[in-house]
Structure 1
Amino acid sequence: MPEIQGYSFFQKVSLGMDRVQAHIKDRTNFLLFSASFTCLFKAIMHKKPFGFQDIIAFSTLCLFNAFFLVTNNPSDVFHKYFSAIFTIEPNNWNEISIYTSYFFSLASIASMLWFCLEKNIESYIGFVFLSLSLLVTVAVGVSPTVYASEQRILFLFDISLVAFTCSMLRNSLTLKY
């Protein structure tokens, strides 16, 4: 465990972001895949004309699901820029692939949050669960036990993903199209 007492607040939060990034890009994170697939299903089924933001969010989730299923070759350029797991460290902070991978992870989560707040979907419970799970996982980076408690916090993130998916499915079953 590194000497976390000497870290700045930004460095501590970046440790939490590294945990979120690694968990989002984990190839065995089928809960996140099912949550994003549920959002896509919800967007398709509510038969409202897509606006510009809807098209961006829908495209991002489609790419996320495609890269989750397809890219597993580390030498592939798509894997490097969209699906690779990186940790921001002083020796690699200037590599663009780190930031594109982080941006794509956060854009995927933001797209899922966007579809929660759609007029016809209105899944506020799902929005709260997904937002809080992201914030709690990032906030654990401030704790000195960021490495010791990483699996417990990721378990909380996974439970929140299950609640998010159930909330989206409940809304899809109760909405009249």
Structure 2
Amino acid sequence: MAEFMKQNISANKIYTTLIFVVMAIILYRIGASLDLRTYMDDDVYFVKALDNTSLFDFLHMRYMTWSGRFFIEYILVTTINHHMVWRISIPLCLLLLCYSICKTIDNGEKTHPQYVLICLILFHSMPSKTLTEGAWWVTGFYNYLLPVSFGIYAISVVIHYRSQSNFKLFTSILALPVACSNEQMAVTMIALLGTNLIIDKKINAYKTTFLTVTLLSFLILMLAPGNKLRFLGESRRIPEFADYGIIDKIGLGMDRLGVVINASNSLLLIISALLILLYFKKVRFHPDVFGTIVCTIIFVFQIAKMNNLLPVQFMKPGDWINFSFYLRYTVALIFYVCIIYIICRVFNTVNDYVTVFTVIFAPATVIMIGFSPTVYASADRVLFLFECMILLVAMACVKKVLPKKPMTKA
């Protein structure tokens, strides 16, 4: 028996070591492949940002005339010319993101490296444009992967704060100014923290500090005078945007959301397959009628996408009278509501509230893009947080499918 246990421990060590080696190879190859894109205006702009001005004057000018992302832009302009900094930081932030996603769904349990590796692999299944613009593009990294990885790390700490070390509690607070320098991440954090306070029903010094720093960082971002000037400047893209009401802007956001859901998306396909499997497993392969209908809708929707039967173009002027666009929105929403329904059936304990919150709130991160006149000009980088939230849901499904112990006895 003792000999068997020694062999089992040795096998586990080899297995864990192999996982770390694979992750190291993946991260190294990512770092080695990165470079500045001198053909991109943003990279060139920030590389030369301090050529003729001081750091303080540049940050003041940006805050007053363009963007409230003060903390991100401070890090950006002071490090972008040091190539090894972002060549190392991008893989490390990706590792932090994957680790934090796994930690968030682990309910305080120890996170095994196999889940981090799976998350790292699934991360690469994001739509290529979103991945490229939000992570591999250097300026995109500073504005998306960096704050999102910091934000999800802070979330993973605050929702399991009772089991966290003082070091993690402290660093989660330090991460907030950067995390909340991205509008989508900041709103998501505030909404999730509010949900946590309602469910946990406890407030202490740490949570009070966390909420205070989050709100202050968000205010610094949103109250920047440059936001208004930027809004006016960007409105040339949609001249009538200033006259749009809240319903119109939500409609623009829905247009983007409909395209996101109907377009090819490996993560949504993986979630669909895993949820159907988990649902039938939960009901012991004796589903009720409604559950069967919901699973059928999810299955048929994915088949339709694979055969390019769903339109994925944005609405153009005059298309508002085209019935097919509203049918597209309806189909996309029905599919996503079905996903939410199955999630609520499978993840139905109090400890699963983060997964349920994430799948419900993820579309809001896309719809809120409609409140900016750059709703169509921001390309796919603004979908990065949505994809990361979908990745969290996918990992929650993976963790339920895989056995609890990474290795079983022979």
TM over 0.5: yes
- For 1:167, the equivalent position in structure 2 comes to 396
- For 2:330, the equivalent position in structure 1 comes to 103
Equivalent pair of 1:117/1:124 in contact (CA under 8 Å) = no
- For 2:358, the equivalent position in structure 1 comes to 129
Higher percent of residues as helix: 2
Equivalents in 2 of 1:125, 1:164: separation in Å? 9
| Deviation sequence 1:115-147 (CA, Å, 0-9, x none) | 1111x5424332211111111211221123323
Equivalents in 2 of 1:99, 1:48: separation in Å? 35
Equivalent pair of 1:58/1:111 in contact (CA under 8 Å) = yes
1:8 to 242, 245, 255: 245
- Which secondary structure state, in structure 1, belongs to the residue aligned with residue 376 of structure 2? coil
- For 1:142, the equivalent position in structure 2 comes to 371
TM-score (norm 1): 0.80
| Deviation sequence 1:58-102 (CA, Å, 0-9, x none) | 111011121122x23xxxxxx2xxx11244456233333222221
Structure 2: any 5+ residue segments left out of the alignment? Answer: 1-236, 405-410
Answer with 90-99 or 151-160: which moved more: 90-99
Equivalents in 2 of 1:121, 1:173: separation in Å? 15
Equivalent pair of 2:280/2:287 in contact (CA under 8 Å) = no
Equivalents in 2 of 1:92, 1:165: separation in Å? 34
Instruction: Specify the code of the residue in structure 1 equivalent to 2:245.
Output: S
Equivalents in 1 of 2:290, 2:332: separation in Å? 17
- For 2:50, the equivalent position in structure 1 comes to none
User: Is 1:43 the counterpart of 2:272 in the alignment?
Assistant: no
- For 2:162, the equivalent position in structure 1 comes to none
Equivalent pair of 1:14/1:88 in contact (CA under 8 Å) = no
- For 1:76, the equivalent position in structure 2 comes to none
- Which secondary structure state, in structure 2, belongs to the residue aligned with residue 93 of structure 1? helix
1:66 to 303, 328, 334: 303
Equivalent pair of 1:130/1:160 in contact (CA under 8 Å) = yes
1:112 to 336, 339, 343: 339
Equivalent pair of 2:238/2:373 in contact (CA under 8 Å) = no
- For 1:75, the equivalent position in structure 2 comes to none
Percent identity (aligned):
22
Answer with 123-132 or 60-69: which moved more: 123-132
Structure 1: any 5+ residue segments left out of the alignment? Answer: 73-78
Instruction: Specify the code of the residue in structure 1 equivalent to 2:243.
Output: G
Equivalents in 2 of 1:139, 1:102: separation in Å? 16
Instruction: Specify the code of the residue in structure 1 equivalent to 2:334.
Output: A
Offset at 1:150? 4.4
Equivalent pair of 1:125/1:167 in contact (CA under 8 Å) = no
- Which secondary structure state, in structure 2, belongs to the residue aligned with residue 117 of structure 1? helix
Equivalent pair of 2:347/2:356 in contact (CA under 8 Å) = no
- For 2:141, the equivalent position in structure 1 comes to none
Tell me: higher relative CO, structure 1 or 2? Use CA pairs within 8 A at least 6 residues apart.
Answer: 1
Equivalents in 2 of 1:117, 1:36: separation in Å? 14
Equivalent pair of 1:18/1:86 in contact (CA under 8 Å) = no
- For 2:198, the equivalent position in structure 1 comes to none
Instruction: Specify the code of the residue in structure 1 equivalent to 2:273.
Output: F
Equivalents in 2 of 1:90, 1:128: separation in Å? 35
Instruction: Specify the code of the residue in structure 2 equivalent to 1:2.
Output: I
Equivalents in 2 of 1:33, 1:21: separation in Å? 16
| Deviation sequence 1:22-48 (CA, Å, 0-9, x none) | 111222x21111111221221222225
| Deviation sequence 1:141-166 (CA, Å, 0-9, x none) | 11233234342321111111100111
Distance 1:54 1:127, change over 3 A: same
Offset at 1:53? 2.5
TM-score (norm 2): 0.37
